[in-house]
């Protein structure tokens, strides 16, 4: 695959994507009081699609980069990505609706570890022992931070593994893990196409499928959601645009680097989210969250130091 990017470019793309995802999440949190969960999720796809389409046109007419039509294999991977993203969201919602939702959320954070396993199975990718240690530490960190109250999160995680919430969380994590692997598989299966063109082609395919599927669901179950989205179009457009630009960067990063590395570094989204929570929603980080941040940074440092560059 042709790509005129330096070896470290995946780090820049991941940091930009993670930061924009945090802004998108903050916008969706604000929209939460105005839209249903399904509608707030739909705006991610609906308003991100035009952003991706415009970027494709810029690549074609400004940079003279071909945006190829996906072949059968790449389309299949893109479709699997679209489906597993929606499935991951659905399982996460089930976890949130369960009695012990904190346990479900904590187990959903195992997506990075699961991504490493699925990537090894599907793409034959391997990671170093140092990177594996970093992924494990970062995963434990975000699981610990998932508990907003209670004195013993590790104990709760271990005891909650038999609960239905944990099952939903693991299924959510698995879905998002497979989603990331499917993105990388879709992009690298474009053969000799330029990375930027392959990435945006895969992204437009994924978003188009998600807009159609989620739109059909809303038309069936929540017809009033379209009017609510229209009334909140400005913040919805911001959330979708941030998500669209972020997705462009995610797809580029995943085309350049292994999923496990990208997803681990992408956990810096949590740090940006904490800052936004402090600034926008006046929420203060707890001592456990500060401890988790330190662990997370150690895990990310190990991954970057393990030859991921």
pLDDT in tens, 36-61: 878 888 988 999 999 999 999 999 99
Q: How confident is the model at residue 28 (pLDDT cuts 50, 70, 90)?
A: low
Q: How confident is the model at residue 62 (pLDDT cuts 50, 70, 90)?
A: very high
Asked if residue 48 lies in contact with residue 207, where contact means CB atoms within 8 angstroms, the answer is yes
Say what percent of the chain tops pLDDT 70: 87
Say what percent of the chain tops pLDDT 90: 51
* Whole-structure pTM value: 0.90
What pLDDT is stored for residue 98 in this prediction? Answer: 75
Rg (CA), the chain: 19
Asked if residue 202 lies in contact with residue 61, where contact means CB atoms within 8 angstroms, the answer is no
In SS3 terms, the chain reads as: CECCCCCCHHHHHHHHHHHHHHHHHHHHHHHCCCCCHHHHHHHHHHCHHHHHHHHHHHHHHCCCCCCCCCCHHHHHHHHHHHHHHHHHHHHHHHHHHCCCHHHHHHHHCCHHHHHHHHHHHHHCCCCCHHHHHHHHHHHHHHHHHCCCCCCCHHHHHHHHHHCHHHHHHHHHHHHHHHHHHHHHHHHHCCCCCEHHHHHHHHHHHHHHHHHHHHHHHHHHHCCHHHHHHHHCHHHHHHHHHHHHHHHHHHHHHHHHCCHHHHHHHCCHHHHHHHHHHHHHCCCCCCHHHHHHHHHHHHHHHHHHHHHHC
For 156-214, the pLDDT digits (tens) are 666 667 678 889 989 999 999 999 999 999 999 998 899 999 999 999 999 999 999 99
For 101-133, the pLDDT digits (tens) are 678 878 888 999 999 999 999 998 888 888 999
**Domain boundary assignment for the chain:** 9-308
Backbone angles phi, psi at 222, to 5 degrees: -140, 70
Residue 281 has pLDDT above 90, yes or no: no
- Which residues 6+ apart lie within 8 Å of 69 measured at CB? 201
What pLDDT is stored for residue 150 in this prediction? Answer: 57
Span 232-240, average pLDDT: 87
Residue 269 has pLDDT above 90, yes or no: no
Residue 26 has pLDDT above 90, yes or no: no
Residue 287 has pLDDT above 80, yes or no: no
For 243-266, the pLDDT digits (tens) are 899 999 999 999 999 999 999 999
What pLDDT is stored for residue 148 in this prediction? Answer: 63
- Residue among 13, 287, 282 at smallest CA distance from 145: 287
Tell me the two tokens of residue 145. 């931070």
**In this predicted model, which residue has the larger pLDDT, 86 or 54?**
54
- Residue among 257, 205, 234, 232 at smallest CA distance from 34: 232
Q: How confident is the model at residue 99 (pLDDT cuts 50, 70, 90)?
A: low
Q: How does the average pLDDT of the chain come out, rounded?
A: 87
Residue 13 has pLDDT above 70, yes or no: yes
């Amino acid at each position: 695959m042709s790509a005129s990017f330096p070896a470290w470019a995946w780090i820049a793309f991941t940091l930009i994507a993670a930061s924009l995802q945090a802004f998108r999440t903050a916008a969706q949190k604000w929209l939460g009081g105005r839209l249903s969960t399904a509608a707030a999720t739909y705006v991610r796809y609906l308003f991100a699609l035009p952003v991706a389409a415009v970027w494709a046109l810029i690549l074609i007419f400004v940079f003279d980069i071909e945006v190829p039509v996906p072949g059968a294999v790449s389309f299949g991977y893109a479709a699997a990505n679209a489906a597993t993203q929606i499935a991951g969201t659905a399982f996460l919602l089930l976890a949130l609706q369960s009695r012990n939702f904190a346990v479900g959320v904590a187990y959903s954070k195992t997506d990075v570890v699961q991504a490493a396993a699925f990537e090894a199975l599907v793409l034959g990718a391997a990671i170093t022992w140092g990177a594996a240690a970093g992924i494990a530490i970062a995963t434990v960190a975000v699981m610990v931070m998932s508990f907003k109250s209670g004195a013993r999160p590790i104990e709760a995680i271990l005891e909650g593994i038999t609960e239905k919430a944990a099952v939903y969380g693991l299924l959510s994590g698995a879905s998002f893990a497979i989603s990331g692997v499917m993105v990388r598989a879709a992009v690298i299966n474009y053969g000799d196409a330029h990375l930027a063109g392959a990435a945006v082609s895969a992204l437009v395919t994924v978003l188009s499928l998600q807009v159609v599927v989620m739109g059909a669901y809303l038309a069936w179950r929540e017809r009033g959601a379209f009017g609510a989205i229209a009334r909140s179009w400005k913040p919805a457009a911001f959330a979708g645009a941030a998500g669209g630009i972020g997705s462009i960067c995610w797809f580029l990063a995943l085309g350049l680097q292994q999923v496990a590395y990208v997803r681990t570094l992408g956990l810096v989204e949590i740090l940006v989210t904490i800052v936004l929570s402090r600034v926008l929603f006046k929420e203060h980080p707890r001592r456990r969250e500060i401890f988790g941040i330190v662990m997370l940074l150690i895990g990310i440092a190990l991954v970057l130091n393990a030859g991921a560059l």
